Structure 1
Amino acid sequence: MGYAGGGAAVAAAAIAQAIKASGAIVRVDPQNFLTLLGKVDSPLVVVAVGGIFKKNYQYLTHYKGLIFYTKSDTFLTLPGDAEMIKAGKIWIPG
């Protein structure tokens, strides 16, 4: 039984290390994400398509030193001045 607990500890340590490496990532709902984009001139948005059984769209942007992440079942209509970078995959720790 000690191995199961040890595996969980290793996984928790890996997640903690990933968070340290990537900084603070704030999860928000899609509407709040779009609201943040509206506060920035020419926002930079990283977009990836994910999902195994059901397609989803994942988004990252920065605002005032923090990274914001959201996931949506539908493609979000980004502001016209947004610069979009298509990523193969977005991985968020935790």
Structure 2
Amino acid sequence: MAYGGAAAAHAAVVQAVKTSGVIVRLEPSEFVLIASKARNPLIVASKAGWRGNKFSYLTSYKGLAFYAQSSQPLDLPGDAEIVNAKQIWVPS
């Protein structure tokens, strides 16, 4: 029975990846570098964690989605449009 549950969970993750496309996880400094290369980047930002002590960021560049998580707010480009989201979920 446990195998069936694990298989269903795996299938759900595979479907989520197919739906969302490729998500590239970066270190926070690399995320800022990618975001600074784009003109007027759209960045989705979210506070997470038990005490709101984790910051998640998502943006796209050249057809790929880039994601980073940091313990401190990132210094984002001044021309970025920031969308504050309640939560960012990416498949693991």
TM-score class, shorter-chain normalisation, is over 0.9
Give me the TM-score of the superposition, normalised by structure 1.
Answer: 0.93
Give 1:4's aligned residue.
Answer: 2
Amino acid at match of 2:23: I
Instruction: Mark the structure with the bigger radius of gyration.
Output: 1
1:48 corresponds, among 46, 49, 65, to: 46
| Unaligned runs of at least 5 residues, structure 2 | none
Give 1:78's aligned residue.
Answer: 76
Q: CA RMSD in A?
A: 1.1
Give 1:20's aligned residue.
Answer: 18
Deviation at 1:54, TM superposition (A): 6.2
Change (3 A) 1:54 1:44: closer
Q: Give the match's secondary structure for 1:75.
A: coil
Give 1:89's aligned residue.
Answer: 87
Aligned pairs for 1:32-47 within 5 A? 32-47=30-45
1:53-87 CA-to-partner distances (Å, cap 9, x unmatched) read: 66200000000000000000000011111110000
Deviation at 1:52, TM superposition (A): 2.3
Tell me the matched-pair count. Answer: 92
Amino acid at match of 1:84: I
C-alpha distance in 1 between matches for 2:52 and 2:81? 26
Runs of 4+ aligned residues of structure 1 deviating over 6 Å after TM superposition are: none
Give me the TM-score of the superposition, normalised by structure 2.
Answer: 0.95
